[in-house]
Amino acid sequence: MKLIVLSGPGGVGKSTVISFLRANEKNVWVSVSATTRKPRTGEVDGIDYYFLSDSQFDKWIAEDKFLEWADFAGARYGTPKQFVDEHLESGKSVLLELEISGARQVRAKNPKALLVFLAPPSWEELEERLLKRGTDTEERRAARLTLARAEMAAQGEFDLTLINTSVEEVATRLISLALD
């Protein structure tokens, strides 16, 4: 059983890889994060995220219920410890999708965790992906790109880098890492 953290810049395709794994791989448990942001269309509480109020999130922090947590893009996100621990103890590998700061927190608490950085094929490809999303204003997209530059600079802190040229290839590699 392994604890694997998948991280990388916004827009690189982490969520797409995670969705693919959830639909196609039952031997690796993909953690569900908690967040204070409002659900997007089609998102389901307990499946996509645990949607918490600010006061609930504060309570979980006070009760040390998070493996990691961070403020990101105007909301807070965290990984509930209980579910990660339960799956690891049952013998399953666990995959976390986290921002860079969350990956750092996990590494500090669990030095044996495998940190995997998901990188875009090129900077231009990342810009194009963020543009195609169509969910951000021009200012928000510019802020995301500025943040992405800083996130790309953290790549050397990770144990392994995967280039996201194919969701299936990245997912297959993650599965092999988890089941090794």
pLDDT digits (tens, 9 = 90+) for 46-80: 988 999 999 999 999 999 999 999 987 789 999 99
What are the sequence ranges of the domains in the chain? Answer: 3-179
Q: Which two tokens stand for residue 118?
A: 């998901």
Round to the nearest angstrom and report the end-to-end CA distance of the chain. 9
Decide if pLDDT at 1 tops 90: no
Q: Tens of pLDDT along 86-123?
A: 999 999 999 999 989 999 999 999 999 999 999 999 99
Its CATH architecture, for the domain 3-179, is 3-Layer(aba) Sandwich (3.40)
pTM of the model: 0.89
